[in-house]
Amino acid sequence: LGLPPDDFLLTDPSSQIASITLDIPAQNDSIDDDAETVKLTLTSANNGYIIAPGSDNATLTITDNDTAGFSLSKTTASVNESGTTDTFTLVLDSKPASNVVMTVSSSDTGEVTVSPTTLTFTSSNWDTAQTLTLTGVEETLIDGDQTSSITLSVDDANSDDQYDPLADKTVSVTTGDNDSPGIIPTPSSLTISEPNGTGSFTIKLNTIPSGSANVTINSISASNAECSVSPTSTTIANANWNTGTTFTVTAQNDDGIDGNQTCTIQIGTSTSSDADYNNIVPTDVTVTVQDDDTAGIDGASLGGSISITEGATGSYDIKLSSQPTGDVEMTVTADTQTEINKDGSTSFSNTVTLTFTNGNWNTAQTITVRAIDDSNIEGSHSSTITHAISGTVNDTNYPTSLTLGDVTVNITDNDSPPPPATPAPTSPPPSSSGSSSSSVPASKTVTIVFEGDGQGRVSSNPTGLDCEAIKGQCQHDFEFNRSVKLIPTAATASQFKGWKGADDCLEGDVLMSRDLSCTAIFESIPQTLTVLKVNNGTVHSTPEGIICDKTGKHCQHSFKGGETVKLTATPDDGWQFTRWGIDCNEEGIVEMDRKKKCQAHFSKKPVVTPQPETPPVVTPQPETPAVVTPLPETTPPVVTPETKPTSPGTTSEDTTGLPKGRVLTVTQVGNGTISSLPEGLQCDSQHSIQCTHTFEAGKTVTLTATPDNGWQFQGWEGDCFGPILMTTDQSCKAIFAPITPSPEDDLGTPSTLTPAVTPIWEYGTPNTLSVSIVGMGTVTSQPKGIQCGNECVALFAPNTDIILTATPAEGYRFSQWESDCLRLDAKNRDAKHRVATKINQALTCQAIFETYDPILGKTTVVSEPQPFVQGVRICPTVGRVDWKCNAQWQILRDLIIDTKGDLSNGNLDGTITNRGRVSNLNIDSGSVMTGGIVTGFITNKGLMADFECRGGTITGGTLSGRIQHTGLVRCLIQDVDLAAETQMTGLNLSGQIQGNPDAPALLNKVKIAGKSQVKDVILGEEITVRSGNVIFENVLLVPNVQFNGGGAKVQGYLIGLDAVAPAHVANIRLAPCTVIDNVILGKQVSYLEEKTPERQGLRINTRGKIADSQACFTGQIRSSGKLQHNDVRLSQKQAQNVHLTMTLTVDPKHVGLAADILIVAFYDKADSQETQFLLRDAQEWVTWDGADISGLPAAAHYQGAKQKEILIYEGDLSHLPGEFKVLVGYRLKEGSVIFNGKRPLHFFVE
């Protein structure tokens, strides 16, 4: 109650109290207790007041307002198996009389735990909330999210009784599942080292499989031969899910220097009765295999020493420390104190050469050392033997700059000091003859003679001799009784075989007690020359040995070391020789100082089918030239040329108007003679200063310039540097200069003649006379020089008197002179067809011939002029045109358009010779137009050759020869075929541009429009690609060219023409299987991943499992040089000359690995059910039983190449009618075979 604890006093100031009401408040105590009764007692204070009877006490009942209980902050919570937590709080609702203890428990401690598990509340902290923490429990079952409960209860025994009856409360907890199936290799990468370093990884499961399920992985293997793994399969038992299986990876040693390599452990797909663990593909393990191979030489004595006595021998072994990719040549050199030989040879010298190959690199070669046995008293001394890489570097890991170890030879002297001298007698002893003895000679002579077909030199120790075999014998005097060591040194491609002569010579050590003659024998080391051919022809050698034809049987021969070999190339019918390559010079000459290879290039001759023109039948009316008295010849004498005529009955043009050959024109400056091989052109200073000859188109011509006495040849200008390929008309100048003598020397003999600084013409600088012809006839000159059937130019000395004579052809007569000769016609000619002039400047003359009918007496100059249409003549439909005309879209046949001709708007048929200008034409199929200027819109279904495009568009047909853009308006060429060796300059290209694969066209300064496809061409300078959607296929690049592809796609092959001067290529997209060679790839080069199923290879492992490979195979079937499609049916004639090749692009994972090339063929004979299995064993085809491929013999071996050209077969198959399928592949050391199983080479022989 709200009263004092004891009594209290009631007073009434008025003293008239009848009753008093007391307000007594109850005190709140927060304790859950029962209702309480309070008794109030009134007592008088003895101050005169009394308490009414029965009112001296009262009873009060206090009702409790507190209830025992507890409250939770929340009733739901969530955690995760990964161990996440959640919290809630608990607090009592009323103050306990004594402690209240709460117990807390989890219904599933495998999913969630709670902390703490008991809470104690006192009367002091009952109203302070206490926190409980929930924690998710990790487990490995894939059981999804689970729900459990946390129960909170009053501990009756240890709590206030008021709280005992309270009911339990719960919190619902959701535990999130974090388990998923998985197979994990740990670690995911390893590093191991050659030769046999190991590492390990473990494969475990993420979770325990359901039930008693196990997990099996049947295939665990290494991706290549760089490493191996064990075991190669595993079954992970249910009980071992979290311990798994441990695997050991072992480095596989190789002997090559290949740097650190990557080997991938490929883990196969799992199988299990637990669906969650079935068909899982684990991640692979990446293994880095560190290379332990370095370039160098091994040997116990290298860097150390051996000990021998003078005159005695010792030896040491030497080998390479790593396997080279090509032959390594090493020169071992001894100093003057020792001499050496190799592998037990009886001949010693101061150098020997060792050759280590890919096969014998680790087989020790023995060097035998012999100490020079001299008579010098020098005590113990030493010698150093050095080792150096020499010769051609075939493996960049073994350069000539590689430092190799030396061997020190400790030599014990076998010479002793002489005994003390005996005192000389006072007088000499008497001789038997009674006279005194003669004096000791001062010196003796050793003479060196050479024998054998090799080269070398002989030197001596002590020095004095230095003899060369090429110079013949030599000699030197040495001190009497001196010991001299003769040191032979063989030249390249020769070897020293021993000594002959006096007994002292046989060991190469001579005592100079008398004059001696020693013979050194040097023999040449045979060197192999291999001839390779591109296309069809035969190569033979001088001296004999090589006869390389289509059989391929005699394409290799061993010649004498140091010998000079001349190769001669003879093309097959329809082919032409173009050039030599590899080790041969441009004349096919090679010096055999080592193994050499020469490559002969042949290409198809351009093929143009002429259409004969039938000349009109005319009865000739002979015209008798008038007799003319020649003009007086003045001094100086004439120095004029004579043009050597073509063969009788031939001209430089056939009846179709097409060139039968190509004209070579040579202008001569100075005095000398020029001749040609093949024969035909012959110029000399006595008859001509310019001469021409027509050679067969495609022929290679070599010119020889021979100066007259007192002159010397200075050089060529123009087209005549080296052999001349007559694909077009060529011209050049041969320059001879006079030689002026120097003053005589003291002996009165003239010194070496020296050339004059500037060539001097005796009569001044010559002038040019140019003659052209309209119609049919010839023009000749007196003095000789002009002899033309068409057009020619000659040089004459200044002020020379010239007479030109025009002679008409049959059916023609001379009409008139034009140009410079027209002005001379009236006053300087003695007959209509003759004209005379003194040449003191350049002159141009034109002779006009007209047709003539002697019966009708009718003449026509060129073609009869036609009527005018809108100011322009209509073109004639046949004959010649020498004016501007409009064809009105008529059909024009077999026209000659002369230099003044300008033809437009026509349909051309037959053969058109254009020396003028044409525009807006349709050229019919089978028609040929050659030369001139072309403009406007041309629709071509025939052949256009050797023309200038001044602007416009040419669509379709075939283009040939030299085509160039010379105008200001662009010239667009679209959808055309390019004949063999076509040359295009300055043009715009669009659409399908198809070159000749055997003799690709050369493009220079061209612009290529978007969406174009350009195939089988040579790209030269200044190629502009307008868009990235251009496609190039089978492209060659000129040396050193810079090509920006503009993002174009390149497929087939991309090959530079010169390995020494590779092309530089940037900004291209390379299709899979593109063959790349002699090219440096720059920026913005990407590799497309598009599928190429027909060219993609297959891989079959040693267990017979077949899978796709990233290797590519591009096969070619050629018949008589013509490319055929796969599945072709070859006729008997076509099968007589079959050439099968395969370009192999190695799987990127196998680049650098050694492999065997395998070639097998399946032959189904016609009219037979039997299949014959054939395979290539080296160069020989043998039968095969079709058994296990692991034991197949190899056709060849290779290592390191990214791409390889494989010759499958070359020869005659016409006698084997039936069906052929050819498989080509390569076999790795570990046994896997990669081959063209998706697209075999397939063809039929009818």
| Per-chain mean pLDDT for the chain | 80
| Same domain as 1241, residue 1106 | yes
The CATH number for 797's domain is 2.60.40
With a cut of 60, say whether residue 8 has pLDDT above it.
no
pLDDT of residue 1052: 82
Cα–Cα distance, 767 to 772 (Å, whole number): 17
| Same domain as 204, residue 163 | no
* Residue 960 within any structural domain of the chain: yes
- Taking the CA atoms of residue 878, residue 880, residue 885 and residue 888 in that order, the dihedral angle to the nearest 10 degrees is 10
| Same domain as 371, residue 350 | yes
With a cut of 70, say whether residue 45 has pLDDT above it.
no
Q: Are 955 and 938 in contact (CB under 8 A)?
A: yes
Residue 828, helix vs strand vs coil: helix
Q: Are 371 and 311 in contact (CB under 8 A)?
A: yes
408: CB partners within 8 A, 6+ apart: 304, 305, 306, 382, 383, 384, 385
* Residue 1031 within any structural domain of the chain: yes
Where is the domain boundary, 290, 312, 344? 290
What is the number of other CB atoms lying within 10 angstroms of the CB of residue 1128?
14
Q: In percent, how much of the chain has pLDDT > 90? A: 32
pLDDT of residue 89: 96
What is the number of other CB atoms lying within 10 angstroms of the CB of residue 978?
26
pLDDT tens-digit map of 195-231: 899 999 999 998 889 888 999 999 999 999 999 999 9
Where is the domain boundary, 524, 549, 578? 524
Mean pLDDT across the stretch 585-607? 83
* Residue 634 within any structural domain of the chain: no
- Between the ranges 63-67, 161-165, 966-970, where is the mean pLDDT highest? 161-165
Residue 427: pLDDT band (50, 70, 90) is very low
| Same domain as 399, residue 339 | yes
The CATH number for 230's domain is 2.60.40.10
- pLDDT greater at residue 157 or residue 669: 157
Helix (H), strand (E) counts: the chain: 1, 104
Residue 820: which H helix or E strand, with range? helix 820-828
pLDDT of residue 62: 76
Residue 403: pLDDT band (50, 70, 90) is confident
User: Which of 210, 215, 188, 229 shows the shortest CA–CA distance to 270?
Assistant: 215
Q: Are 717 and 709 in contact (CB under 8 A)?
A: no
With a cut of 50, say whether residue 321 has pLDDT above it.
yes
Q: Which residues of 920-932 are buried (b: 16+ CB within 10 A; e: fewer)?
A: bbbbbeebbbbbb
pLDDT tens-digit map of 1115-1154: 889 888 787 888 899 999 999 999 999 888 888 778 778 8
* Residue 611 within any structural domain of the chain: no
pLDDT tens-digit map of 848-889: 777 665 544 544 443 333 444 444 678 888 888 888 888 888
pLDDT of residue 693: 86
Residue 924, helix vs strand vs coil: coil
With a cut of 60, say whether residue 589 has pLDDT above it.
yes
Q: What's the structural domain count of the chain?
A: 10
Mean pLDDT across the stretch 108-129? 94
Q: Are 809 and 815 in contact (CB under 8 A)?
A: no
Residue 748: pLDDT band (50, 70, 90) is very low
| Same domain as 122, residue 42 | no
Residue 267: pLDDT band (50, 70, 90) is very high
**Phi-psi sector, 830: left (phi>0), alpha (psi -120 to 50), beta:** alpha
With a cut of 90, say whether residue 421 has pLDDT above it.
no
Cα–Cα distance, 126 to 154 (Å, whole number): 14
pLDDT tens-digit map of 635-651: 333 333 333 333 333 33
Cα–Cα distance, 217 to 206 (Å, whole number): 15
Where is the domain boundary, 17, 36, 66? 66
Q: Are 557 and 575 in contact (CB under 8 A)?
A: no
Instruction: Among 40-44, 140-144, 635-639, name the one with the lowest average pLDDT.
Output: 635-639
| Same domain as 794, residue 735 | no
pLDDT of residue 416: 62
Cis peptide before 282 (omega within 30 of 0): no
Instruction: Among 36-40, 544-548, 558-562, name the one with the lowest average pLDDT.
Output: 36-40
Cα–Cα distance, 444 to 465 (Å, whole number): 13
* Residue 429 within any structural domain of the chain: no
* Residue 612 within any structural domain of the chain: no
| Same domain as 883, residue 961 | yes
* Residue 238 within any structural domain of the chain: yes
Cα–Cα distance, 607 to 136 (Å, whole number): 88
pLDDT of residue 33: 65
pLDDT tens-digit map of 272-297: 999 889 999 999 999 999 988 888 88
- pLDDT greater at residue 1225 or residue 404: 1225
Residue 54: pLDDT band (50, 70, 90) is low
Mean pLDDT across the stretch 580-591? 88
| Same domain as 869, residue 856 | no
pLDDT of residue 706: 83
3-state helix, strand, coil in the chain (%, to 5): 5, 50, 45
Mean pLDDT across the stretch 118-129? 94
Q: Are 690 and 793 in contact (CB under 8 A)?
A: yes
pLDDT tens-digit map of 1217-1246: 999 999 999 998 888 899 988 889 999 999
User: Model-level pTM greater than 0.75?
Assistant: no
Residue 628: pLDDT band (50, 70, 90) is very low
The CATH number for 580's domain is 3.10.20
Instruction: Among 165-174, 850-859, 1173-1182, name the one with the lowest average pLDDT.
Output: 850-859
Q: Which residues of 441-476 are buried (b: 16+ CB within 10 A; e: fewer)?
A: eeebebbbbbbbebbbbbbbbeeebebebeeeebeb
With a cut of 50, say whether residue 529 has pLDDT above it.
yes
Structural domain that includes position 474: 443-524
pLDDT of residue 72: 95
DSSP-assigned beta bridge partners for residue 1099: 1107, 1234
With a cut of 60, say whether residue 621 has pLDDT above it.
no
| Same domain as 1056, residue 924 | yes
| Same domain as 652, residue 700 | yes
Q: In percent, how much of the chain has pLDDT > 70? A: 80
Residue 17: pLDDT band (50, 70, 90) is low
| Same domain as 551, residue 491 | no
Residue 1190: pLDDT band (50, 70, 90) is low
* Residue 609 within any structural domain of the chain: no
Question: Which sign does the torsion angle of CA 1185, 1190, 1192, 1195 carry?
Answer: positive
Residue 824: which H helix or E strand, with range? helix 820-828
The CATH number for 333's domain is 2.60.40.680
Cis peptide before 1148 (omega within 30 of 0): no
pLDDT tens-digit map of 1043-1084: 999 999 998 888 898 888 899 999 999 887 787 888 999 888
Cα–Cα distance, 1042 to 1079 (Å, whole number): 10
- pLDDT greater at residue 358 or residue 699: 358
Burial of 411 (0-12, 13-18, 19+ CB in 10 A): buried
Cα–Cα distance, 219 to 1042 (Å, whole number): 49
Cα separations in angstroms, 1117 against 517, 812, 1005? 65, 54, 34
With a cut of 60, say whether residue 399 has pLDDT above it.
yes
| Same domain as 1067, residue 947 | yes
- pLDDT greater at residue 1167 or residue 1057: 1057
pLDDT of residue 1129: 92
With a cut of 70, say whether residue 47 has pLDDT above it.
no
Mean pLDDT across the stretch 1004-1023? 93
